[in-house]
Amino acid sequence: MINQVWIDNLIKVLEYENKLYGQLYSIAENKTGLVVKSEVDSLQELVGKEQKLISELNKLQDVREQIIGQVAQTIGKDPREVTISQLAAYLPQDQAKKLTCSRVKLKETVRKLTDKNDLNQQLIKNALEYVDFSLNLLTQPAPQTPQYGRKGNETGAKGRGILDIKY
């Protein structure tokens, strides 16, 4: 028989993970605006907050895996292969519903966070490409029209870019 305290603790861990992923999602939304506005200092501050949440989520993941390991041992399954859906099959209906609901909420929050992070990644990539393009424009030599000397030969110095660097 599965210890009900383990299941209650598992549900609490999943709910807390969902809360932290929700906070990460809020940070990701803020990061989108900061990337668009190119506010690097504020962006670095958010990344620091994000790292703290990720550290806390890693600890929760360890706790969740320990609980699942204890429950899996009780039902005679390999802890690495047990899913929440499988655990729900061994529980009374009310607890199974709570556990499944927590899982669904967490899964949806993680999906939204993944989508937002993908958008932020694309925005950062675009910003870096723009910076690279701008630097290339500034550093390449300016095109010059040919000048002809008295004998009909082209003369003139090599053009320089906007930035004063030697080639």
pLDDT for position 135:
81
pLDDT for position 144:
65
pLDDT for position 128:
84
Task: Yes or no: say if 141 and 167 are a contact pair by the CB < 8 Å rule.
Answer: yes
Distances in Å between the alpha carbon of 25 and those of 16, 19, 31, 112? 14, 10, 10, 7
- Assigned domain for 163 exists: no
- Assigned domain for 154 exists: no
Ranges under pLDDT 50 in the chain: none
Domain membership of residue 125 as a residue range: 4-141
- Assigned domain for 88 exists: yes
- Assigned domain for 160 exists: no
- CATH of residue 117's domain is 1.20.58
pTM: 0.77
134-167, pLDDT tens digit by residue? 888 777 766 666 676 677 676 655 555 555 555 5
- Assigned domain for 57 exists: yes
- Assigned domain for 106 exists: yes
Residue 159 DSSP class: P
- Assigned domain for 161 exists: no
pLDDT for position 163:
57
Number of domains in the chain: 1
- Assigned domain for 166 exists: no
